């Protein structure tokens, strides 16, 4: 893909994610159901944090494209390294996890992740923007441009650290409020909850590996390994 075309795409994707993030974070307080948006607000939900992550990623990607267009190659190289690390370790695996896990649980029992009371607050298009569109965006990014993946150990350590931070945030909210971020968690004993977190981490690691596999299959080994 031409750099100018890629820059246009990344700019539009950034604007889209900025708009979606703005929309969900400006739900009027009087319309919010009592069981959601309490302590931690929208920032306790992985879905919302992922929107911010995607906005940052596409913003960095657009900056890298602009630097390449104006021939600032030394600066572009540094920004591209940050872009690739963001995409490989976080943007692709988190988006894939959010979309697949949400719709799997939604199909099984939506009250576990997205109570019906939210239908009157969050419009259908916004629900799909948060939970559906993130996956094709992530796949399209792999098709659009190659990304350099870090060494496997480094990538998995970074991913595990971010997962640890989010789990810690979830547990902190529970310790303060006595309520779980997602009703699903209330169904498990402490041991069961630990197993759930461990299995979720294993799943997101598998998405990391899948993204690396797709990148290698499409662009070749030599184009993305350090």
In this prediction, residue 45 has a pLDDT band, given cuts at 50, 70 and 90, of very high
Distance CA 83, CA 87 (A): 6
Residue 49 has pLDDT above 70, yes or no: yes
Identify the band that residue 56 occupies on the pLDDT scale cut at 50, 70 and 90: very high
Looking at the chain, the whole-number percentage of residues with pLDDT higher than 70 is: 92
- The beta-carbon contacts of 162-166 under 8 Å, at least 24 apart in sequence, are 162/89, 162/90, 163/200, 163/201, 163/204, 166/46, 166/49
Instruction: Provide the β-strand partners of residue 149.
Output: 225
Taking each helix axis as running N to C, give the angle between helix 124-131 and helix 46-69, from 0 to 180 degrees, rounded to the nearest 10: 70
d(CA 167, CA 180): 11
Residue 190 near residue 114, CB atoms below 8 Å: no
Question: Could you give the CA distance from residue 134 to residue 16 in angstroms, rounded to a whole number?
Answer: 11
Q: Against a cut of 0.85, is the pTM above it?
A: yes
Indicate the length of the chain as a whole number.
226
Residue 89 DSSP symbol? I
């Amino acid at each position: 893909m031409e750099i100018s075309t890629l820059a246009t795409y990344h700019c539009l994707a950034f604007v889209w994610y900025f708009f979606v993030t703005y929309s969900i974070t400006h739900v009027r307080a009087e319309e919010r159901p009592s069981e959601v948006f309490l302590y931690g607000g929208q920032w306790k939900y992985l879905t919302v944090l992922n929107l911010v992550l995607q906005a940052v990623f596409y913003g960095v990607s657009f900056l890298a494209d602009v630097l390449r267009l104006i021939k600032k190659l030394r600066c572009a190289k540094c920004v591209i390294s940050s872009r690739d690390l963001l995409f490989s370790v976080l943007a692709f695996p988190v988006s894939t996890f959010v979309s697949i896990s949400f719709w799997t649980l939604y199909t099984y029992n939506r009250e576990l992740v997205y109570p019906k009371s939210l239908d009157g607050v969050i419009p259908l298009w916004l629900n799909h923007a948060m939970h559906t569109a993130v996956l094709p965006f992530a796949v399209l990014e792999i098709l659009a441009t190659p990304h350099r993946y870090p060494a496997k150990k480094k990538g998995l350590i970074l991913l595990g650290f971010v997962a640890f931070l989010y789990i810690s945030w979830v547990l902190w909210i529970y310790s303060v409020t006595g309520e779980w971020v997602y009703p699903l968690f209330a169904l498990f004993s402490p041991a069961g909850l630990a197993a759930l977190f461990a299995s979720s981490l294993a799943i997101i690691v598998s998405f990391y590996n899948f993204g690396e596999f797709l990148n290698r299959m499409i662009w070749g080994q030599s184009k993305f390994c350090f």
